[in-house]
Each structure stands twice: as structure tokens, then as C-alpha cells.
Amino acid sequence: MPRADAPRDKEPPEGSPWDTPIAEAPLAFVDLEMTGLDPKVDRVIEVAVSRRRGAVVEDAFDSLVNPGPHAIFKTDVHGLGPLQLAEAPPFGDVARRILETCSGAVLVAHGAWWDVTFLEAEFARLGHDVRFHFYLDTVTLSRRALKADSHSLEALARRFAIDRGTAHRAKDDVRSLIALFERLLDELRPSSPRDLWHVRIAERHARPEIIERCIAFAGTGVPARILYRPSHKAPRAFEAILTLVRTDLDPPRVMGYSLPGRGRFDLRSDRILAITHTTETAEPAPP
């Protein structure tokens, strides 16, 4: 997702890693624990990063972080305090290792704005202008792909029977994050990290690759399998013939008729999660 302060017309740079096939793209899964929620004054006290290409772990790093004697702990959800962190290295001692693990990869986190903003604040305290301009947020991906009462990592892990280990500890949260991401890939079937970057909520923004796939089917008479998520409802999968894509509308509309009943539809393209040939699978998420 773009940073809140990034121009909305800007996209990730072309080429690797953003345009690499999703199974081959380097992804850096990140989780932090902090003393509080204000990046201007609160500090990082634990960090975990797992760099992967598909199922292959290329690099991994995790460490407690000593925030210094003046840190004020405004939360104890992680169970960490000054006593547990007394012998941990300061952020400056782990900063290079974090950058090495993330370099050239797409950063992925749950509620990613927090992780990105805290990392940038810690680097700024060291005098380094390190910026993570583009990243993927599994909260946004899950809110598009799933109907759920809560999109917290804990709730989604419970839904998918993901072992949480020790919740609110960075290393175990990264493991949960990776497992959740894999489930979201099953729902969204992206071709690349850039395709996932275009997944938005509350913006009426359609993924360009979904539009291209719909246009490729439209008017051919070839049956397609569509995975569609209506507003406030769980995704549903159905087979259809596409007749027209109205790209002059915002968001573009996808028209056709379902099979076998031939009931006509007019779909918002931003709510199409996946479109495949009927010989492929695009199953909906469990309710």
C-alpha cells in the first residue's frame, strides 16, 4: 500500500521485486513490539523479519531491543519491560541487520503503517533517512478478501486455525503473518506483489490485472470462474460468460450472465477477487 503521505498517483518502481511473479518475489515479513503507539516518543523493543521467496526462507532475523533508560512503557501486552530488555542491544546495533534482511524485498506487515512508521522513526533517531514508501498490509488484504467481525491478527489466526505461539511477540507474530498471507493469496490469486498493492478498500479502486483478465474474457463466449465479494457478505464463486466491461465507469463494471441459469449480472470490478478459467480453482473463503 502507499504511505498515507505518498502521492496517490505514484506506484512502486517497475521491475523486481514488485513485478516478479508472486511465488518468486522476495518478501520481507515484519513485526515489531513497541513501548506504546506514538512513533514520535515510543520505542521499538522487539523486531522480527523473515525474508522469503515462496516457501523458501532466504534470511531471518529477530532480536529484543533495549529502548534506553528514558523509555516509558505504556503497554504490557507483549510482557516485555526494562528487566527483560536490560541486556538487549540498542536499535543502532541491529539497524544494519534489519536493512540487510529487507533490502530489495517487498515489506509485508499486519497494520503495516505502524511497523513502517516506527522503523523510520528509529532510523531517524540514528540520523538515517530510511523510508519504506510502498508495502503490503495484510489488514487491507483481509478486509477486501474476507467477511470477518475482526481483522486483527489474533482473530484471523483463530479463524484459520493458525498456531499463534506466543501472541504479541515479534517472532511468533511473523510466523502467524506468513500463514495468514498464504491464505490470502488463495483468495486473491495475485500475479505479482504489484497486483496485491492495487488491492484497496473504501477507494473504489479496481486491480488493473483483474480488469485486463475480464476484458480478455469479455465477448469470447469462454466460461470464466469468478470469485466475487459483495458488500458486507462473504465471497461467492460462480461460473459466467462475460459480455462487456465498461471501463468508462468508475469503478469499471463487468457485465454478463451466470451459468447454468443465465441470470444477468452487473458487477463492481473492485469487488472481484479472482477470475480464472473454469478448469482452474477459485474457491471462496469459509464463512
Residue 262 CA to residue 10 CA, distance in Å, equals 41
Residue 132 CA to residue 7 CA, distance in Å, equals 14
Per-residue pLDDT, 279? 77
Does the structure show a pLDDT above 60 at 14? Answer: yes
Ramachandran angles phi, psi of 164, nearest 5°: -85, -15
Domains of the chain: 26-196 (3.30.420.10), 208-277 (2.30.30)
Residues 6+ apart with CB under 8 A from 130: 99, 119, 120, 123, 124
The answer to whether the beta carbons of residues 245 and 252 sit under 8 Å apart is yes
Per-residue pLDDT, 43? 96
Per-residue pLDDT, 132? 96
Task: Give pLDDT tens digits for 40-50.
Answer: 999 999 999 99
Task: Give pLDDT tens digits for 156-170.
Answer: 999 999 999 888 899
* Residue 278 banded pLDDT, cuts 50, 70, 90: confident
| Mean pLDDT, residues 53-61 | 97
The answer to whether the beta carbons of residues 211 and 269 sit under 8 Å apart is yes
Mean pLDDT of all residues in the chain?
93
Per-residue pLDDT, 285? 38
Pick from 203, 141, 139: which is nearest to 9 by CA?
Answer: 203
